[in-house]
C-alpha cells in the first residue's frame, strides 16, 4: 500500500455511485497524516454524501487552492478496504473491459464492505454455575426476575439468544448484567451467519482424505509448478490433463507449497454448484495447514460475505475457493491462483464489467508475482495459443490415474437410427439397449442433452446438411417470416431452400429437443427406470440440485439426465454409461467457437463415465457423424483437433489470432438501432481508419431480446487497451438517439 506523504493536503477519492470519476478532496486538520490509499471515507458529492475509496494523492496538488475544495467528512476504518494490487487490478479491469471505474470497483469490493457494515455480533446466554438450594431461595425472594432467568437457563441445553430471551421473559438488561457480574450467567458473543455450507460437506464420505502417491506425470507437473513458485516471479502454467488424470491432486500439491511458505492461494471453479464438493475435498486435504478455507460466490448472504472477506483480509483464511468473483479476494501475499476447467465459458461475467475470470486471474498473478495454474482436459484455444507463443508453461497428464481406461466413444448415426425406432426420434435403439443393460447390472447412466443448440438453424434429417454462410464458416439462421437464411455475423442473406441443397430431400426443417421431451420419451421406453432431470430449472434451486446429486450418488436414481452442468467436474464412481442425445446441436450455432464447444462437451461428458473400477461406455447420437469435432473426440485426439481448429481460426482471423471486441446496439425501434449502428461504424472507420478491423454491423443472432432489437459490430485488434480507449473517446463525440443503447464486450464469448 503506497502510504501518502504526511504533509499532503489533497487526495483523490473514487465515490461509489459517482459516475466512475475520481474527485479531489481536502483533508481536514483532524485527519492529516492518517489518510492512506485504499481507505473507506465519506465525502460530500453534489447535495448528498457518499462513501468512497481514497484512490491516491491528487495530481493537481499545489495548483488548486485547498479552500475551494470540499473536505473529507469521515474516515470509516483505519485499515484500507482495498489493497494496492486490487486497486491496480480494478483500474486495469475498467480500461481493458471498457467499464466505468466505479463499476469495476464495485465488482472487486462486496457491497457489505463498501457500505461500511461491521460484523453483527449475536450475544448468547448460558448458565455459568449452578446455585445451591439456599442461594436460589434467597434469589427468588430478593430478585424474582433474576431467578426466572436462572430457571429458564437451567433448562436449556445450548446457549440461547440474549435479546429474544430477555424480551420473552420480560427481564431488563440490568438484571441480566448483574447475574453476569455475579458469575451466575455467562454471555458469549457469536457472529451471525458464519457457518457456510456446513451441511453440504456431508458428501465428503466419497472423498479420500489421505493423499494418494502421485504418479510420474503428476509429480513432473507438480515439480515444474513448484519450481515456478520458488522463482517468486509471475508465471502462467497450463495443466492439460485428460479427465480423471488427477489434476486436483496437482493443484493440492501446489497449494500446500504456498500455504506452508506462509502465502495465500485462490482456487476458482466455473460453477457455484461445484464449490461445496471442491471445498470439502480441499478442507480435508489441507486440514493440517493451519488456515481457514473459505467459500466465495454470488449466493452468499451479506453477513457470510463480510465474514469471509474479513477473514481473508486479516490473513486468517489463506485459501479461498469460489466462482469467478473470488478472483478479487483480498488475501495478502497471494502466491498461487488455480483456475480449474479454465475453458469454461461461465468464467465470463454476463453483466458489466464483462470480465473473464481466467484472464483477470492471469493479470492479477502478474501484479503480485504469483503463479496462475490453468487446468483443463480440453484447454481453450486462447490458452493453447499462449503456450505456443511461449508465454505460458505447460504440463500434460496423458493417462488416467492407475491407468484406468479412457471411456470408448461409439458414434450413432441418427440418420440411420431414426428409421429403426418407431414412434420417436429422440433415443436410438442402441442407446435404449445400453440403458436397459445398465439397469440389469445395477449400474448408473447419465443422459446428456446439448442445450447450447439453436433451434432455428436448418437441418436436413435425411443427409444432415446444414446451410452455412459463404463468408463466415458458421451456420445460417432460418427466418420463418420471410423464408430466408441469414448470417448473423456478417449480414449475408439468401432465400431458404425448399428442398435440401445436399440431397434434394423436401424434409428440411428447423430442429431442437428439450429436456422435458427427453424425459417423457425415457419414461415411455424404459418405464421401470428411476429417472431424474437436472436443468436450468433445478439449477436455480440450490437444495434441489444438491439433493438430486446426493440421491444419485446413493444409487436412488438410475438415469440422471441433464445439460451442460453435468459435464463439469462431477465424479460418480458407479456411472458406466453416458449417452449424448444430440451431439451435433452445438455445432450449428452461429458462433466460430461451435466446433471447440462441441469437442469440449463430448470429451468432458465422456469423462464422467468409468471413473470407478469399471470401464465406461459413451454413446453419441448425431446427425453429422463425420463432423471434425465428433471424429476427433471419438479418437480422443486432442492434438489433431487443436491443429485443425487453430488453422480455421487463423484463416478467418478469429481469436486466438486476434482479440475480438463485440459492440452491441439495442433499442425498441429496429430502424433506429440499425441506423445508429451503421452511422457509428461509418464514423469509426472514418475517424480511426485501421484502428481495428470492423465486421458488420449486422443483426445479432438473438435479434430481439425482451422487446429490444439488437445489432452488433465486431472489431478485431491485437492491442485491446489502445483500441478500447480510442473507441471510447470517439464514442463520446458521436451522439446516439436516446432510444438506442450500446455496450462493448471485450474478448466476447457470448456471440448471441
Ligand atoms: P481430474 O480433476 O483430472 O479429472 P481428479 O483429480 O478428480 O481428476 O482425480 C480423479 C480421482 O483419482 C480422484 O478420486 C482422486 O482422488 C484419484 N487420484 C488422483 N491422483 C491419484 C493417484 N496418484 N493415485 C490414486 N488415485 C488418485
Ligand atoms: Zn439432405
Ligand atoms: Zn456471414
166 and 93 part of one domain: no
Q: How many folded domains does the chain comprise?
A: 5
Q: Which of 215, 217, 249 to mutate to test the pocket of ligand 1 (most atoms within 8 A of CB)?
A: 249
Q: Is residue 503 part of a domain?
A: no
Q: Does residue 383 sit in the same domain as residue 530?
A: no
* C-beta 246 within 6 A of ligand 1: yes
Q: Does 636 reside within a domain? A: no
**Integer Cα distance of 557 and 445 in angstroms:** 9
Phi, psi for 662 (deg, rounded to 5): -105, 125
Q: What is the pLDDT of residue 192?
A: 41
Q: How far, in Å, are 496, 665, 673, 739 from residue 735 at the CA level?
A: 38, 13, 13, 11
227 and 356 belong to one structural domain: yes
Distances (CA, A) of 394 to 24, 60, 649: 46, 47, 22
Find out whether 500 and 507 touch, Cβ atoms under 8 Å.
yes
Which residue segment(s) compose the domain that 367 sits in?
Answer: 216-403
DSSP state of 101: H
Residue 472's SS3 state is coil
Q: Which residues pair with 40 in a beta bridge?
A: 53
Question: Which of 512, 503, 506 has the alpha carbon at shortest distance from 425?
Answer: 512
Cα 443–chain centre separation: 32
Question: Would the CB of 208 count as within 6 Å of ligand 1?
Answer: yes
Q: Provide the CATH number for the domain around residue 539.
A: 3.40.50.300
> Quick one: DSSP state of residue 568?
S
> Measured from the CB, is residue 400 less than 6 Å from ligand 1?
no
Residues 32 and 150 grouped into a single domain: no
Q: Which helix (H) or strand (E) holds 525?
A: helix 515-525
* Domain co-membership, 97 together with 128: no
Q: Which of 378, 403, 428 is the last residue of a domain?
A: 403
Ligand 1, atom 13: closest residue by C-alpha: 246
| Chosen domain end from 109, 134, 152 | 109
Residue 590 within a domain: no
Phi then psi dihedrals of residue 539, to 5 deg: -60, -40
Decide which of 562, 592, 616 is a domain's last residue.
616
Confirm or reject: Cβ of 515 under 6 Å from ligand 1: no
Q: Note whether 165 and 295 are same-domain residues.
A: no
Is there a single domain that holds both residue 237 and residue 331? yes
Asked if residue 101 is part of any domain, the answer here is: yes
The answer to whether residue 719 sits within a structural domain is yes
Give the number of the atom of ligand 1 that is nearest the alpha carbon of residue 249. 6
Is the beta carbon of 253 within 6 A of some atom in ligand 1?
A: no
Instruction: Please give the C-alpha separations between residue 241 and each of 78, 123, 321, 570, 642, in angstroms, as whole numbers.
Output: 46, 50, 21, 16, 15
pTM across the whole model: 0.78
pLDDT mean by block of 10 residues, the chain; 752 residues: 55 84 87 86 86 76 59 82 89 93 88 64 81 90 91 82 82 90 83 36 44 92 95 94 91 94 94 79 85 84 80 88 92 95 92 93 96 95 95 93 79 77 72 92 86 59 80 69 73 84 76 61 88 68 73 89 69 84 76 89 80 77 88 90 93 94 93 94 94 92 78 95 95 90 93 84
**Same domain, yes or no, for 24 and 158?**
no
Closest residue by Cα to atom 4, ligand 1, is 244
> Which ligand 1 atom is at minimum distance from the Cα of 241?
3
* SS3 category, 486: strand
Q: What is the CATH number of the domain that holds 706?
A: 3.30.70.600
Cell numbers for 526: 424404459
Query: Using one digit for the tens of pLDDT, what is the confidence trace for 400-423?
Result: 887 777 777 899 888 877 666 555
* Angle, alpha carbons 74-107-21 (nearest 5°): 55
- pLDDT on residue 642: 92
In a domain, 694, yes or no: yes
In this structure, is residue 593 part of a structural domain? no
Calpha distance 267→280 (Å, rounded) = 13
**Confidence at residue 535, expressed as pLDDT on a 0 to 100 scale:** 65
Buried-state track 580-591, b at ≥16 Cβ within 10 A, e below 16: bbbbbbbbbbbb
The answer for residues whose C-beta is within 8 angstroms of residue 91's C-beta and 6 or more apart is 101, 104
- Report if residue 627 sits inside a domain: no
Q: Is 613 in the pocket of ligand 1 (CB under 6 A)?
A: no
| Co-location of 270 and 235 in the same domain | yes
Are both 415 and 520 inside the same structural domain? yes
Instruction: Name the β-bridge partners of 374.
Output: 238, 339
- DSSP SS3 for 580: strand
Residues 567 and 531 in one domain: yes
State whether the beta carbon of 248 lies less than 6 angstroms from ligand 1.
Answer: yes
- pLDDT of amino acid 645: 94
Question: So what's the pLDDT on residue 191?
Answer: 46
Q: Say if residue 86 is in the same domain as residue 145.
A: no
Q: What is the largest CA-CA distance in the chain?
A: 103
Amino acid at each position: 500500500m503506497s502510504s501518502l506523504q504526511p504533509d499532503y493536503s489533497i487526495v483523490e477519492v473514487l465515490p461509489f455511485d459517482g459516475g466512475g470519476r475520481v474527485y479531489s478532496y481536502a483533508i481536514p486538520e483532524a485527519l492529516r497524516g492518517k489518510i492512506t490509499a485504499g481507505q473507506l471515507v465519506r465525502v460530500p458529492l453534489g447535495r448528498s454524501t457518499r462513501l468512497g475509496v481514497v484512490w491516491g494523492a491528487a495530481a493537481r496538488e499545489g495548483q488548486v487552492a485547498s479552500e475551494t475544495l470540499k473536505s473529507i467528512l469521515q474516515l470509516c476504518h483505519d485499515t484500507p478496504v482495498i489493497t494496492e494490487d486490487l486497486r491496480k487490478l480494478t483500474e486495469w479491469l475498467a480500461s481493458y473491459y471498457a467499464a466505468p471505474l466505479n463499476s469495476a470497483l464495485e465488482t472487486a469490493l462486496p457491497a457489505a464492505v463498501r457500505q461500511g457494515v461491521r460484523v453483527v455480533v449475536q450475544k448468547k446466554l448460558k448458565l455459568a454455575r449452578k446455585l445451591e438450594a439456599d442461594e436460589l431461595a434467597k434469589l427468588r425472594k430478593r430478585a424474582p426476575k433474576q431467578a426466572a432467568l436462572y430457571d429458564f437457563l437451567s433448562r436449556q441445553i445450548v446457549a440461547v439468544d440474549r435479546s429474544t430471551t430477555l424480551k420473552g421473559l420480560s427481564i431488563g438488561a440490568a438484571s441480566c448484567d448483574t447475574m453476569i457480574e455475579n458469575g451466575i450467567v455467562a454471555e458469549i458473543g457469536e457472529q451471525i451467519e458464519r457457518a457456510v455450507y456446513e451441511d453440504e460437506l456431508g458428501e465428503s464420505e466419497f472423498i479420500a482424505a489421505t493423499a494418494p502417491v502421485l504418479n510420474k506425470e503428476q509429480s513432473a507437473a507438480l515439480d515444474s509448478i513448484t519450481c515456478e513458485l520458488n522463482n517468486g516471479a509471475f508465471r502462467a502454467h497450463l495443466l492439460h490433463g485428460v479427465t480423471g488424470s488427477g489434476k486436483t491432486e496437482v493443484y493440492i500439491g501446489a497449494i500446500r507449497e504456498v500455504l506452508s511458505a506462509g502465502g495465500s492461494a485462490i482456487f476458482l471453479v466455473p460453477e457455484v454448484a461445484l464449490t461445496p464438493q471442491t471445498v470439502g475435498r480441499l478442507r480435508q486435504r489441507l486440514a493440517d495447514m493451519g488456515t481457514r478455507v473459505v467459500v466465495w460466490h454470488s449466493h452468499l448472504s451479506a453477513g457470510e460475505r463480510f465474514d469471509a472477506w474479513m477473514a481473508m483480509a486479516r490473513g486468517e483464511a489463506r485459501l479461498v475457493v469460489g466462482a469467478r468473483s473470488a478472483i478479487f479476494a483480498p488475501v495478502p501475499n497471494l502466491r498461487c491462483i488455480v483456475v480449474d476447467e479454465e475453458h469454461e465459458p461461465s468464467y465470463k461475467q454476463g453483466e458489466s464489467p464483462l470480465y473473464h475470470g481466467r484472464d483477470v486471474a492471469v493479470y492479477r498473478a502478474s501484479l503480485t508475482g504469483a503463479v496462475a495454474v490453468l487446468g483443463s482436459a480440453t484447454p481453450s484455444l486462447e490458452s493453447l495459443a499462449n503456450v505456443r507463443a511461449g508465454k505460458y508453461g505447460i504440463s500434460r497428464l496423458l493417462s488416467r490415474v492407475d491407468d484406468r481406461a479412457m471411456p470408448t466413444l461409439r458414434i450413432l448415426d441418427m440418420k440411420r437410427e431414426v428409421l429403426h425406432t418407431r414412434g420417436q426420434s429422440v433415443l436410438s435403439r442402441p442407446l435404449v439397449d445400453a440403458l436397459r443393460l445398465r439397469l440389469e447390472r445395477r449400474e448408473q447412466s447419465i443422459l446428456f442433452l446439448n442445450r447450447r443448440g439453436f433451434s432455428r438453424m436448418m437441418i436436413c434429417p435425411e443427409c444432415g446438411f446444414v446451410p452455412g454462410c459463404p463468408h463466415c464458416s458458421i451456420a445460417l439462421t432460418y427466418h420463418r417470416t420471410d423464408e430466408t437464411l441469414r448470417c448473423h455475423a456478417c449480414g449475408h442473406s439468401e432465400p431458404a431452400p425448399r428442398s435440401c441443397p445436399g440431397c434434394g430431400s423436401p424434409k428440411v426443417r428447423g430442429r431442437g429437443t428439450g429436456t422435458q421431451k427427453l424425459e417423457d420419451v425415457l419414461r415411455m421406453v424404459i418405464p421401470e427406470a428411476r429417472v431424474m432431470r437436472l436443468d436450468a430449472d433445478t439449477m436455480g434451486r440450490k437444495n434441489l440440485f444438491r439433493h438430486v446429486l446426493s440421491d444419485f450418488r446413493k444409487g436412488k436414481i438410475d438415469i440422471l439426465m441433464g445439460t451442460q452442468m453435468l459435464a463439469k467436474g462431477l465424479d460418480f464412481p458407479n456411472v458406466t454409461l453416458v449417452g449424448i442425445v444430440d451431439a451435433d446441436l452445438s455445432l450449428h450455432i452461429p458462433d466460430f467457437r461451435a466446433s471447440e464447444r462441441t469437442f469440449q462437451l463430448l470429451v468432458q461428458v465422456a469423462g464422467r463415465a468409468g471413473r470407478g473400477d469399471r470401464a465406461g461406455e459413451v454413446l453419441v447420437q448425431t446427425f453429422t457423424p463425420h463432423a471434425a469435432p465428433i471424429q476427433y473426440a471419438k479418437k480422443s485426439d486432442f492434438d489433431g483437433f487443436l491443429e485443425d481448429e487453430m488453422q480455421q481460426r487463423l484463416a478467418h482471423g478469429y481469436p486466438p489470432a486476434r482479440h475480438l471486441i463485440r459492440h452491441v446496439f439495442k433499442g425498441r425501434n429496429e430502424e433506429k438501432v440499425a441506423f445508429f449502428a451503421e452511422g457509428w461504424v461509418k464514423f469509426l472507420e472514418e475517424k480511426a481508419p485501421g484502428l481495428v478491423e470492423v465486421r458488420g454491423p449486422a443483426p445479432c443472432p438473438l435479434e430481439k431480446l425482451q422487446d429490444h432489437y439488437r445489432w452488433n459490430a465486431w472489431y478485431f485488434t491485437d492491442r485491446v487497451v489502445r483500441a478500447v480507449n480510442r473507441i471510447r473517446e470517439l464514442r463520446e463525440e458521436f451522439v446516439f438517439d436516446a432510444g438506442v443503447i450500446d455496450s462493448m464486450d471485450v474478448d466476447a464469448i457470448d456471440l448471441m
